[in-house]
Amino acid sequence: MLARMRPVIGIATPLETARWAVWELPAALVAHNYLQAVQRAGGLAVLVPPDARHLDPRAADEAVSLLDGLLLVGGPDLEPEGYGAALHPDAEERQPERDRIELALLAAARRAGLPVLGICRGMQLINVGAGGTLHQHLDGGRTEGRHRRELGAFDGNEHEVNIEPGSVAAQAAGETRHTVVSHHHQAVDLVGAGLSVTARDAEDGVPEAVEGEGEPWLLGVQWHPEADEASSIIASLVEAARAAG
C-alpha cells in the first residue's frame, strides 16, 4: 500500500436533488468551495455519502478508519426532536436521516481521535451530539438579521466575532478579533458536555465557536470559512489531520 502523501479529509455529504442532461435525481453533493478549501490546504477531499449502515457503530468506525479528518458542512435545520425540543413555528427544512447518519460519523470520529471541523450546521451538530440544544430561531434581542441579512448570499453578511485567546478557534483563525461570513438563523443554546464556547458575536454575544475540552482537535464554527478564500479555518483542519497522521 502506498504511503499517504496528503491527509484524507472526509466530507459528510448530503443527498440533494440535482439535474444533469435529462435527469433529475437525488445526488450526493457538496458545494465546490468546501472541496477547494481542502485542496488548497494540501488535503485530499473525499466525499462520504449518506449510508444508513453507519448507524451501526462498527460500520461508522470502519468508515472513519479510512480518514485522517472529518468535515461536517452547512445545510438545513437539525430536527429538534433530536435534542428534546418541540418544533418552532419559524423552523425551516429538516433532514432527520441526515442528522442521524452524521451524528454517527461524528461519534465514530471522536472515538478514533480524528480531527473534526463543523461548519454552521456542523457546529450545531457537534453541540447536539454532545447533549446540547439549539435556539431554533434568532429573534427578539438576538436578531436573525445580523447573522443572515440576505437569503442565499454571503456578500453583505459579514460581522465581527471575538475569539478566546489561546483557543483552538483562535489558532485556526490566526487572530482573536475576526471578520466572518455568516448565514444562519439558529444558534447554540445549552452547550453540550465536554464543549466550551470560545467565540461569540462581538455585538449580540451569540456563540460563534465551540471546541472540545481535552480532545485532540474538535472545532465548530458558526460562520462559513469555505466562502472566504483568505480564511485559514479549513486549512487548520487539514494541518491537524496531517500532524495526527
pLDDT by 10s per residue, the chain, length 245: 566 789 999 999 999 999 989 999 999 999 999 999 999 999 999 999 999 999 999 999 999 999 999 999 999 999 999 999 888 888 788 889 999 999 999 999 999 999 999 999 999 999 999 999 999 988 744 445 667 666 766 777 788 999 999 999 999 999 999 999 888 888 999 999 999 999 999 888 999 999 999 888 999 999 999 999 999 999 999 999 999 87
pLDDT of residue 108: 98
What is the extent of the structural domain holding 129? 8-244
Identify the pLDDT of residue 233.
98
Q: On the CB side of 36, how many CA atoms lie within 13 Å of its CA? A: 10
Q: What sign does the dihedral 58-30-197-129 (CA atoms) show?
A: negative
Contact 193, 124 (CB under 8 A): no
Q: What is the distance between the alpha carbons of residues 106 and 85, in angstroms, rounded to a whole number? A: 21
Domain count, the chain: 1
Please state whether the predicted TM-score (pTM) of the whole model is above 0.75.
yes
Which domain CATH number covers 232? 3.40.50.880
Catalytic residue among 54, 79, 102, 120: 120
Do 144 and 137 form a contact (C-beta atoms < 8 A)? yes
Is residue 241 classed as helix, strand or coil in its secondary structure?
helix
Answer whether residue 2 is part of any domain: no
Active site residue 93: no
List CB contacts of 143: < 8 A, sequence separation 6 or more: 204
pLDDT at site 245: 76
Asked if residue 1 is part of any domain, the answer here is no
Torsion of CA 157, 97, 32, 10, to 10 degrees: 120
The whole-number pLDDT of residue 141 equals: 41
Residue from 54, 178, 183, 224 carrying the catalytic annotation: 224
Q: Is 178 a catalytic residue?
A: no
Could you count the other beta carbons within 10 Å of the beta carbon of residue 165? 10
Establish whether 135 is a catalytic residue. no
Angle between helices 121-129 and 96-112 in degrees, nearest 10: 70
Residue 232 lies in a domain: yes
Choose, from 102, 208, 211, 226, the residue flagged as catalytic: 226
| pLDDT recorded at residue 145 | 61
- pLDDT at 140 (0 to 100): 47
Residue 3 lies in a domain: no
Given this model, what pLDDT does residue 152 score? 65
